């Protein structure tokens, strides 16, 4: 039989209680397996539970722990694929971080649930079964980190949570799904790309620098920049209005922050792309554009880029390439 690894991190998929007021991350990893008898007939399982969190409490240090452990499993010859259970609230952040931190090759599949495990019509068991089928499918190789929920196979690079309580809360936006799972069939809409190595080689001493997000709103004060400078942040992603438009009142504070070595990235609070503006802000102030990244993604990309030692002159190209 093939052998899969299941890494449980908590979330609603392991939660119990009334759907309107439940407790996440209460079930251990083996209980998730035992709830779906077909899983034992699909593969032999290696199980781990590095932490049990409501995903609202996920931290960048958890991304590094997960990536390091997954890399070890990828390098283990008799492990054919890895399945990760996660809460939906911050799944898009963990998925994007793992997209950057792991090589494409052996399947790595994240799944989740919007309803607790003991609720009426719980979605977790089927999602877990479908994630296992995707992890075992030969044509899943080389596609990078995937997210499997509600019959959809989504690319970790583009996954986003779009609803607060509906079962179909995760999507890939305009990028579209990678494929579908129907019964025992796994179908992809496009060929797999050429496998690539990990972007950042993890070491026990690897640390992601502090990068913060400032949301633009009417009357945003420059005091926030001064506070973040005092806290030692290495970068600030501005979730600005429209196409990353900088309010005039913030320009002096931005110039001061950049002069102190803080990287400033213009993103859009609506989540759409912000392209370089060479004739205005980016040239005159020294800001960078988030390209196709949301503010959340731009923050993670900047953290990983700085940790990987990308030179300041190369950060714009880095943001465009991920």
Please pick, among 12, 88, 90, 94, the residue that the annotation labels catalytic.
12
Residue with structure tokens 């259970």?
Answer: 85
> C-alpha distances in angstroms, 310 versus 57, 113, 204, 316?
29, 36, 20, 10
104-132 in b/e form (b: 16+ CB < 10 A) is bebbbbbbbbbbbbbbeebbbbbbbbbbb
In angstroms, the Cα distances linking 138 to 83, 143, 181, 210, 214 are 15, 11, 14, 38, 42
- Asked if 72 is an active-site residue, the reply is no
Among residues 43, 45, 128, 135, which one has the least CA distance to residue 86?
128
- C-alpha 136/C-alpha 128 separation (Å) is 12
- Please choose, from the candidates 31, 53, 30, 157, the residue with its C-alpha nearest in 3D space to the C-alpha of residue 104: 157
Q: Which of 87, 77, 192 is nearest to 142 (CA)?
A: 192
Please give the Cα distance from 107 to 188 (Å, whole number).
14
Three-class secondary structure of residue 306 per DSSP: helix
- Give the pair of three-digit tokens for residue 31: 């209980």
* Residues paired with residue 185 on neighbouring β-strands, in sequence order: 182
B/e letters for 148-164, b = 16+ CB within 10 Å, e = fewer, are bbbebbbbbbbbbbeee
φ, ψ for residue 96, nearest 5 deg: -70, -40
Q: What's the CA gap between 65 and 267, in Å, rounded?
A: 28
Give me the count of residues in the chain.
322
Active site residues: 12
């Amino acid at each position: 039989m093939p052998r899969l690894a299941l890494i449980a991190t908590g979330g609603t998929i392991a939660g119990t209680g009334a759907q309107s007021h439940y407790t996440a991350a209460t079930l251990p990893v083996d209980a998730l397996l035992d709830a779906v008898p077909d899983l034992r007939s699909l593969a032999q399982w290696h199980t781990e539970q590095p932490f049990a969190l409501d995903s609202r409490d996920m931290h960048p240090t958890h991304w590094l722990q997960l990536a390091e452990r997954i890399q070890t499993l990828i390098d283990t010859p008799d492990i054919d694929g890895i399945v990760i259970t996660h809460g939906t609230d911050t799944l898009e952040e963990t998925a994007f971080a793992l997209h950057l931190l792991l090589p494409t090759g052996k399947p790595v599949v994240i799944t989740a649930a919007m309803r607790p495990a003991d609720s009426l019509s719980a979605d977790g068991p089927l999602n877990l079964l479908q994630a296992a089928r995707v992890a075992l499918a030969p044509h899943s190789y080389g596609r990078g980190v995937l997210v499997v929920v509600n019959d959809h196979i989504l690319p970790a690079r583009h996954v986003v949570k779009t609803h607060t309580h509906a079962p179909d809360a995760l999507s890939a936006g305009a990028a579209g799904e990678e494929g579908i799972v129907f019964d025992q069939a796994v179908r992809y809409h496009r060929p797999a790309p050429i496998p690539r190595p990990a972007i950042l080689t993890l070491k026990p001493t690897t640390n992601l620098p502090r990068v913060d997000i400032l949301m633009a709103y009417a009357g945003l004060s420059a005091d926030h920049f001064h506070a973040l400078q005092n806290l030692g942040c290495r970068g600030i992603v501005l979730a600005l209005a429209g196409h990353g438009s900088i309010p005039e009142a913030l320009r002096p504070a931005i110039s001061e922050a950049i002069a102190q070595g803080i990287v400033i990235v213009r993103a859009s609070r609506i989540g759409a792309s912000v392209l370089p503006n060479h004739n205005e802000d980016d040239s005159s102030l020294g800001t960078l554009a988030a390209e196709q990244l949301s503010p959340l993604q731009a923050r993670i990309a900047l953290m990983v880029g700085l940790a990987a030692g990308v030179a300041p002159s190369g950060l714009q190209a880095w943001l465009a390439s991920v």
